[in-house]
Amino acid sequence: MSSDVRWLTAEEERVWRRWLTLNARLSATLQRELQDDARLSAPDYEVLVHLTDSPAGRVRVTDLARLLQWERSRVSHHVTRMESRRLVQRVECAEDGRGAFVVITPRGRAAIEQAAPGHVATVRRLVFDVLSPEEIEALATITDKVLVQLDGPPEGLT
């Protein structure tokens, strides 16, 4: 291996592995609960959250891709699967040429209403009730800094 790699220190390695473990376990716990409560996967739930956030209960595929930070093709495939379970419906919008809307169905609305209270209670119990206000603030700072880094430097500064 290249000798000029700055390997992680033992403490960095420990933090990084704990973080990976935490995310794997937290997401497994939340997924299992969504499945048990409302037969929803975590991606289903995310899609439904964004649809219910919109007053009309509908969002264009392109906008969903941006909101979810998914590739457009992944949104499209996932919506097709949710459509076959009648959780959402795709409504073509030929006249403006800006692509189809994804609309939440009554069954989709019932599913998220069934899932949301337990999901939020678990997120609260496992994360927000455990952390002090200062730790929540630190988490916000840490998250924002890493996201800025992921986005790369603003244009004109490269």
Contacting positions for its own copies (CB under 8 A): 1-2, 5-8, 11-12, 14-16, 18-27, 29, 46, 69, 113, 116-117, 120-121, 123-128, 130-131, 135-136, 138-150
Helix 42-53 / helix 72-84 crossing angle, nearest 10 deg? 90
Tokens of residue 22, six digits: 């935490």
At closest approach, how far in Å is the CB of 82 from its own copies? 18
Output 24 or 93, the one with its CB closest to its own copies: 24
Residue 12 half-sphere exposure, CB side, CA atoms within 13 Å? 4
Output 46 or 83, the one with its CB closest to its own copies: 46
Output 91 or 130, the one with its CB closest to its own copies: 130
Output 11 or 95, the one with its CB closest to its own copies: 11
At closest approach, how far in Å is the CB of 30 from its own copies? 10
Tokens of residue 109, six digits: 């609305």
Length of the chain: 158
The b/e string for 115-149 (b: 16+ C-beta within 10 A; e otherwise) is bbeebeebeeeeeeeeeeeeeeeeeeeeeeeeeee
Output 2 or 73, the one with its CB closest to its own copies: 2
At closest approach, how far in Å is the CB of 16 from its own copies? 6
At closest approach, how far in Å is the CB of 107 from its own copies? 16
At closest approach, how far in Å is the CB of 93 from its own copies? 27
CB 104 within 8 A of CB 88: yes
Tokens of residue 131, six digits: 């952390």
